[in-house]
Chain A
Amino acid sequence: MTRALTLIRRRLVGSIFVLFIVIIGTFLLLEAAPGDAVDAYIVSTGGDAGMIELLRHRWGLDQSELTRLANYLWALLHLDLGQSVTFSRPIREVILERLPTTLILMVSATALSFGLGSALGIYAGARPGSFRDRFLSVASLALYAVPGFWLGLVLIVIFAVDLRWLPIGGIETLASDKTGLDRAADIAIHLILPVSALGFIYLALYLRMMRAGMAEAWRQDFVLAARARGLSRRRIVLAHVARNALLPLVTMLGLQSAQMLGGSVVIESVFAVPGLGRLAQEAVAARDTPLLLGIILTSAVLVILINLLVDIAYAFLDPRVGASEAGA
């Protein structure tokens, strides 16, 4: 237990440095953007030069860059991401409203790609070099080459336009007054296509990693020992080979979270899912740079938290991890 705590503390300290660098980066991008918050405000409300001068002074935009960075950091410390001009509301509010939708999408897509991907990987890796192994290997490579947004459009053409089985987009039926389980079922139906489009791309990654890990594990001595003990092939595959190949996939889960978040931007815009990714696209369209950077910061925090969780899970799954790090 103490080694897990030591590990978490070490990762937390590292994460704070990383987050600081991300904040400096977003601040630089904010500075590089043409126009500032006052320009954006004046465009939407109108006002004369005196008004601009007054607002610049009141919002501290006429101060030096270092002071502005300090103000920015101070505001972030209070979880204040500023005001969105397009929504006329605090950015934090807008982001928190959209975050749950993206989380549902990400968790479902990850469950699909990890679950099905590792299962197919075990199936392929159980008999290395067999026809099914080679077939799945090539098929997964082909799947990995498919752009997620295009797969989404193809799924819409087939299942929503031609077959009319599933809704074309959105997160739930508008103005349906559904509550409780009915509403949950409605959302689940709306999520089938976006989750598939996002999940199937990364499925290939887990399949290939599982397969490669199993090919490695087959050569290990403990597999030979298991065979010598006369264990059934099924038991060797599941309890020894696959189990050892599974651990690196857990690490991948954390590393992939940033990719998934990036992927959900395009998928959400294809399926008109009102999540964080769609918000990012709206921010780009409206040239609302502070909102876009708020989304980037939120994503970075999310990725750091997910990786922290994965590290903790890993420390519990593999007793060797942390033992040496805690001692160091």
Chain B
Amino acid sequence: MSRLHRFLRTPEAVAGTILLAMLFAMALSASLLFPGDPQAIAGPALLPPFQNWSLPLGTDRLGRDVLAELFHGARTSLAVGLAAAAAALVVGAVVGTLAGFAGGLVDEVLMRITDAFQTVPGFLLALAFVSVVGPSLGVVVVAIALGTWTGPARIARAEVLSIRERDYVAGARVIGMHPLAIAFREVLPNALPPVLALSSVIVAAAILTEAALSFLGLGDPNRVTWGGMIAEGRTVLRTAPFLSIVPGIALVLTVLGVYLAGEGIVETTAVRRGLS
């Protein structure tokens, strides 16, 4: 039985894949279905959903098309979530490999730095970083990665500690490979699987952090974000609660999709390992 086949047999994984596929479809089709600026005024202000079929989800306080904003927001969420998670995984894997492979003082210093990053609440750090450097998409990505690289670093280090004692590493030393080459060409690739197993949790956390940052007004002001939409809707929470509720549902479904698909992948690979 192929791995894909086994993956598709768990109902959670299928549900997660469908949710993620929908999200990617939304993000990719955003500028095709809704060309032009999603932040432009499209109709009368505060039009309720399902009233006018050219504006199916209605309009917000300023008369912007909610559905168009939702599609364009999917882009920002996905882009920031994936980029921040990738950055966190790369930094974490490199720091963890260096610490575990070098040992001694390097290990001690790198791990105390990791401790320090884990001691400061990640969201406060992101808040401070964005507020000092100024909000833009790249800064938000770095800010989120600052608070999330520590998990991958710890796992990579633990894995490297066990790998570095293996025979093929000793072999590489004997043939005179440079220690850095051994660390990154021989050890790191083998330490990656458990680190990558964390990726769904990190992508999910990154998407939620981005949403919270833009909810507090620290997202990229030139882009539509779901968090920003929720904050915008909050000003008319009493009269038009759907403006805050709809983008929130999109967020929940996205993060749920990431978790479910991630759990499916971990379960599938765990079964494969158990069999081999």
Residues of A participating in the B interface, judged by any CB pair closer than 8 Å: 14, 17-19, 21-22, 25, 29, 32-34, 138, 141-142, 144-150, 153-154, 156-157, 161, 255, 258-259, 261-263, 265-266, 269, 280-281, 284-285, 287, 289, 292-293, 295-296, 299-300, 303-304
Complex alpha-carbon distance, A266 and B210, angstroms: 12
Determine if A299 and B132 form an interchain contact, defined as CB atoms under 8 angstroms apart. no
Of chain B, the residue at the smallest CB distance from A28 is B132
Contact B245 A157 (CB under 8 A): yes
- Interface SS, A side: helix
A174 to chain B, nearest CB (A): 20
Could you list 19 further interchain pairs (A-B, Cβ under 8 angstroms) beyond the known A18-B115, A259-B122?
A: A21-B112, A32-B132, A34-B132, A147-B212, A147-B227, A147-B248, A147-B252, A148-B212, A153-B237, A161-B237, A259-B121, A262-B123, A262-B124, A289-B128, A292-B131, A293-B128, A299-B121, A300-B116, A300-B119
0/1 string, B57-86, CB within 8 A of A gives 1? 000000000000000000000000000000
Query: Which of A146, A289, A299 is the one whose CB lies under 8 Å from B131?
Result: A289
Tell yes or no: B31 within 8 A of A by CB.
Answer: no
Q: Given the known A-B contacts A138-B12, A145-B255, A150-B230, are A157 and B124 also in contact in the complex, defined by CB atoms under 8 Å?
A: no
Is B241 positioned at the interface, with any CB of A under 8 Å from its CB? Answer: yes
Query: A3 to B212, alpha carbons, bound, how many Å?
Result: 43
B133 x A32 contact (CB < 8 A):
yes
Please give, as numbers and ranges, the residues of chain B lying within 8 Å of A32 by CB-CB distance. 132-133
Nearest-Cβ distance from residue B73 to partner chain A, whole angstroms:
13
Tell me if B237 and A156 are in contact (CB < 8 A): yes
Tally of A-B residue pairs with Cβ under 8 A? 140
Give chain B residues whose Cβ lies under 8 Å from the Cβ of A262: 121-124, 147
Contact B122 A284 (CB under 8 A): no
* Distance between A11 CB and nearest chain B CB, rounded to angstroms: 11
Question: How far, in Å, is A105 (CB) from chain B's closest CB?
Answer: 14
In the assembled complex, the Cα of A146 lies from the Cα of B123 at a distance in Å of: 16
B252 cross-chain contacts in A, Cβ below 8 A: 142, 145-147, 150
Is A29's CB under 8 angstroms from B230's CB?
Answer: no
By size class, the interface of chain B is 35 or more
Compute how far the CA of A18 lies from the CA of B112 in the bound complex, rounded to whole angstroms. 6
With beta carbons under 8 angstroms apart, the residue of A142, A148, A161 that contacts B256 is: A142
Query: Within 8 Å of chain A (Cβ to Cβ): is B40?
Result: no
B238 within 8 A of A: yes
Choice from B120, B208, B263 contacting A22 with Cβ under 8 Å? B120
CB-nearest residue of chain A to B212? A266
Within 8 A of A (CB), among B191-243: 204, 208, 211-212, 215-218, 227, 230, 234, 237-238, 241
Contact in complex: A263, B123 (CB < 8 Å):
yes
Q: Which 6 pairs from chain A and chain B are nearest by CB?
A: A262-B123, A262-B121, A150-B248, A145-B255, A21-B116, A145-B256
| A141 lies within 8 A of B230 (CB) | no
Asked whether any CB of chain A lies closer than 8 Å to the CB of B127, the reply is: yes
**Contact across chains for A147 and B211 when beta carbons are under 8 A apart:** yes
Would A150 and B244 be within 8 Å (CB), given that A29-B128, A289-B131 are in contact?
Answer: yes
Which residues of chain B are near A154, meaning CB under 8 Å? Answer: 245, 248
Q: Are A266 and B133 in contact (CB under 8 A)?
A: no
Contacts of B248 in A (CB 8 A): 147, 150, 153-154
Inter-subunit contact B230/A299 (CB<8 Å) = no
The interface bits of chain B over 241-268 (1 if a CB of A lies within 8 angstroms of the residue's CB, else 0) are 1001100100111011001100100000
CB distance from B220 to the nearest CB of A (A): 16
Contact B132 A303 (CB under 8 A): no
- Which residue of chain B has its CB nearest to the CB of A304? B119
Is A18 a contact partner of B119 (Cβ separation < 8 A)?
yes
Closest approach, in angstroms, between the C-beta of B74 and any C-beta of chain A? Answer: 15
B113 at the interface (CB under 8 A from A): yes
| Chain A residue at smallest Cβ distance from B147 | A262
Q: Determine how close the nearest CB of chain B comes to the CB of A50; give it in whole angstroms.
A: 29
Q: Mark B102-132, 1 if CB is under 8 A from A, else 0.
A: 0000000000110110111111110111011
CA–CA, A277 and B87, complex, Å:
27
Docked pose: A303 CA to B125 CA in angstroms = 14
Identify the closest chain B residue to A158 (Cβ): B241
